[in-house]
Amino acid sequence: MRKWVLSGILASEETYLSHLEALLLPMKPLKAAATTSQPVLTSQQIETIFFKVPELYEIHKEFYDGLFPRVQQWSHQQRVGDLFQKLASQLGVYRAFVDNYEVAMETAEKCCQANAQFAEISENLKARSTKESKDQTTKNSLETLLYKPVDRVTRSTLVLHDLLKHTPVSHPDHPLLQDALRISQNFLSSINEEITPRRQSMTVKKGEHRQLLKDSFMVELVEGARKLRHVFLFTDLFLCAKLKKQIGGKSQQYDCKWYIPLTDLSFQMVDESEAVPNIPLVPDEELDAMKIKISQIKNDIQREKRANKGSKVIERLKKKLSEQESLLLLMSPNMAFRVHNRNGKSYTFLISSDYERAEWRENIREQQKKCDFSLTSVELQMLTNSCVKLQTVHNIPLTINKEDDESPGLYGFLNVIVHSATGFKQSSNLYCTLEVDSFGYFVNKAKTRVYRDTTEPNWNEEFEIELEGSQTLRILCYEKCYNKTKLTKEDGESTDRIMGKGQIQLDPQALQDKDWQRTVISMNGVEVKLSVKFTSREFSLKRMPSRKQTGVFGVKIAVVTKRERSKVPYIVRQCVEEIERRGMEEVGIYRVSGVATDIQALKAAFDVNNKDVSVMMSEMDVNAIAGTLKLYFRELPEPLFTDELYPNFAEGIALSDPVAKESCMLNLLLSLPEPNLVTFLFLLDHLKRVAERESVNKMSLHNLATVFGPTLLRPSEKDSKIPANPTQPITMTDSWSLEVMSQVQVLLYFLQLETIPTPDSKRQSILFSTEV
């Protein structure tokens, strides 16, 4: 352990020496130029800016040259204490450097403003890279490098603590290291007495110290690329930082990318002509592929844990999981959150939740009412360094960062009834949206209709929301703006106004009893009444065996088509016809939940063969009709792709040879019973037509496959790979995810085929189905 600690110190010293060398490099030519008729800086300015840097370099070069051979020729008896004692005795040079530091920085700043050549030099100081690094040099600014000695001296005692911890009391080094630690601590306490008042001078108003109010990981859009950032909201400024890569067991460090004083921050475009950057969207297929990988790795981790394999294997898998989840988190968000500096630049973040975007805006606006601002470059560097200690969000919100005993969240279906809301001051057009967390970030899952000109909307709408490891339900209440001139132009786009927002934790214990639970969410004086009911995945996935011969829901498709003397069930034809008449341009058709009461009314009407069903449909929201069609396929006692053939479809889609895959998938499809095949091809044509309007309805072939895949393929319980009484809820969850992904892939495969060749025996039926 002593050798490892010392090896870490050597690596750190090597880097530090390269930084000091980078500072010394321009010193010689600058001094030479100072004696000419065209000096870049005066001799006095050079002396002030680079004060004591040569001396610090000599001290640390001597220390490094003494330590290196001793670590190379290591034995338990090896002594190094004398080197650390000597280094501690030379800390007086640091006292001089720290006392001059503020003046050095101010001088450097003034010289940069006055001389473009020096400004160019000070931004491009090249430090040679350490042996581990592949690059030859790294670029640093003068400001960054001049802070290195200040940072170094404040960390000096940490190194000695580590070394002492692993040095036996009986070792000759022990008293020497204790002495070095005592000198360092005394020196540091005297330095801190001087540095602390400076830190506290970073005040907001007189007597008020700068405080951290909120911090979070966010995705920043930088020249079209997505970058993971950690953002910090202080009482007087908004700071965007990047977490530096940790090398050789070093502690976490941040790099300040930019900051905006709150007095200069706005959410409006500074210049109306300023172009809104294009948000590079990641295809759903890629995001789903990441989710598949995440589920597979989680499965592997559980398997290794049960097999009690070595922790190295699990650690390796956890590392892979972390990489995949970080990638998903980076690629998923696509809602713009823009901040503008009144004195110049604009910055764009990508967020997945309108709730979070609103929360950031509220917090910033609230603080802008009461803040003042002043910040020197030294203070900025110190503030960035302090972020490591101040941060409240320590981990990227991934499942890998959850403790083993932490709730994995809920998997299944959450039924939510949004009843009504009270507390609005004036009549307006109001609607709500619901968000839940999934794979570590929040997504919008449902939206009520707009209740017009009221202070007390009564929506009474029920939604069924699929949960994937969810722990929180959020609700946002909006005022719909129909008058385009009144719209607030934030983020360069028209937005409806958020009137209130709130959230509830989804407690697995409280939701286990499967009954409706009423709750009231209070937000900004507004109260929204909700009811929630949870059905776990193992119950929600069951297809019930057919017990009735009348009606159409829950009855075998062959029985219904025979009774109706049709090739395609009447309910399928009617729903498709109505959606093609007026729902093809509905945003999120088939994805957005319809009102549950409307769906149940239509279900009942189709079951009793109500002659007025077409009139009912014409008066209903088109999402309810889409929901009825999905419910019909979901309640079939056997999936459209049949229990018998389901395993073959799952194996066929996994084939890697495209020719073999096509042959297998088409032969399987044509092996379906006639009513199943004809109904599927009829639906397939319809879904392709829906996807042709993707630019308007936002429903791609992949989106449609995601919605319909499990509905058409999910087998009856006896054929599912899901255990009936899972003892390992997380494993069940992830195997379920993999099964669902496979179902989506099967449907997507057929949607992407331009034509489906069929043998003559089937052709007549196919032709008939497309005519219908």
| Distance, CA of 350 to CA of 222 (rounded, Å) | 11
Q: Residue 130: what pLDDT?
A: 60
| CB-CB neighbours of 759 under 10 Å | 7
pLDDT of residue 727: 36
Contact 105, 378 (CB under 8 A): yes
pLDDT at residue 721 above 50? no
Query: CA nearest 195: which of 153, 258, 250?
Result: 153
d(CA 435, CA 353): 8
Which pLDDT does position 687 carry in this prediction? 96
The token duo for 89 is 């005795």
pLDDT digits (tens, 9 = 90+) for 614-661: 899 998 989 899 999 999 999 999 999 999 999 999 988 988 778 778
- The pLDDT of 386-399, averaged and rounded, is 68
pLDDT confidence band for 361 (50 / 70 / 90): very high
CA distances from 265 to 276, 343, 371, 433, 638 (A): 17, 9, 12, 28, 59
Token pair, residue 54, equals 């040569």
Type of residue found at 484: K
Quick: pLDDT tens for 117-139.
888 888 888 777 665 544 567 77
Report the C-alpha gap between 262 and 233 in whole angstroms: 9
Nearest to 670 by CA among 590, 766, 753: 766
Task: Please report the pLDDT score of residue 408 as a whole number.
Answer: 67
pLDDT at 465: 84
**pLDDT band at residue 82, thresholds of 50, 70 and 90?**
very high
Average pLDDT over residues 92-118: 86
Residue 345, pLDDT above cutoff 60: yes
For residue 463, the model assigns a pLDDT of: 82
Which sign, positive or negative, has the C-alpha torsion 685, 686, 689, 691? negative
Whole-angstrom distance, CA of residue 614 vs CA of residue 570: 11
The whole-number pLDDT of residue 538 equals 64
| 206, pLDDT greater than 60 | no
265 pLDDT above the threshold of 80: yes
Q: Given CA atoms 402, 405, 411, 415 in this order, what sign does their dihedral have?
A: negative
**Interacting residues of 226 by C-beta distance below 8 A, sequence separation 6+:** 219, 220, 280, 330, 331, 350
pLDDT grade, residue 521 (50/70/90)? very high
Report the pLDDT value the prediction gives residue 196, as an integer from 0 to 100: 44
**Which pLDDT belongs to residue 76?**
84
* Average pLDDT of every residue of the chain: 81
Q: Give per-residue pLDDT as tens, 42-79.
A: 888 899 999 999 999 999 999 999 999 999 998 888 99
- Range from 377-381, 497-501, 637-641 carrying the lowest mean pLDDT: 377-381
- Digit-coded pLDDT (tens) for 462-498: 887 888 778 899 999 999 887 654 444 444 444 688 8
**Could you give the residue ranges of the DSSP H alpha helices within 528-612?**
537-540, 557-564, 570-582, 596-607
Q: Tell me: pLDDT of 277 over 80.
A: no
Mean pLDDT score, 707-727: 65
pLDDT tens for each residue of 140-157: 788 888 888 887 776 677
